[in-house]
Amino acid sequence: MAQLVKLLDYITRYETKAFHYPTQFIRLKQEHWEQLMRQWEEENELELLGQVPYEEEKTASETKAEKKQFLWKFFKKKETSVLEERFIRTLPTTKKQLITYFLNQLMPFQLKWATSTITHTSFTDKNYMYEEKLKTLLQRLPDIYLIMYYPIFYVKNAPFESEIIIISPIGIEILTIVDAPHNARIVMTGERVWKVETEEKTTTLIDPTIALKRTEHVVRSILNKYGVDIPIQKTVMAESNYFLYDTAPYQTKLVGKNEYEDWMDEKKALHSPLKNVQLKAMEALLRHCQTTAVRRPEWEKDDDEFKTVADEEA
Task: Return the higher-pLDDT residue of 199 and 47.
Answer: 199
* Residue-wise pLDDT tens digits, 160-198: 999 999 999 999 999 999 999 999 999 998 789 999 999
Confidence of residue 85 (pLDDT cuts 50, 70, 90): low
pLDDT of residue 78 exceeding 50: no
pLDDT of residue 248 exceeding 90: no
Question: What is the pLDDT, as a whole number, of residue 148?
Answer: 98
d(CA 11, CA 4) in angstroms, rounded, equals: 12
CB 194 within 8 A of CB 204: yes
Separation in Å, CA 116 to CA 5, 23, 104, 213: 11, 18, 20, 30
d(CA 3, CA 110) in angstroms, rounded, equals: 7
User: Does the global pTM surpass 0.85?
Assistant: no
CB 296 within 8 A of CB 121: yes
Lowest mean pLDDT among 99-103, 167-171, 295-299: 295-299
d(CA 278, CA 75) in angstroms, rounded, equals: 51
Question: What is the pLDDT, as a whole number, of residue 301?
Answer: 59
Q: 270-276: which pairs have CB atoms within 8 A and are 24 or more residues apart?
A: 270/142, 270/144, 270/168, 270/169, 270/170, 272/144, 272/168, 272/169, 272/170, 273/144, 273/169, 274/22, 274/23, 274/26, 274/144, 274/169, 275/169, 275/170
DSSP secondary structure code for residue 97 in this structure: H
8 φ/ψ sector (left φ>0, alpha ψ -120 to 50, else beta): left
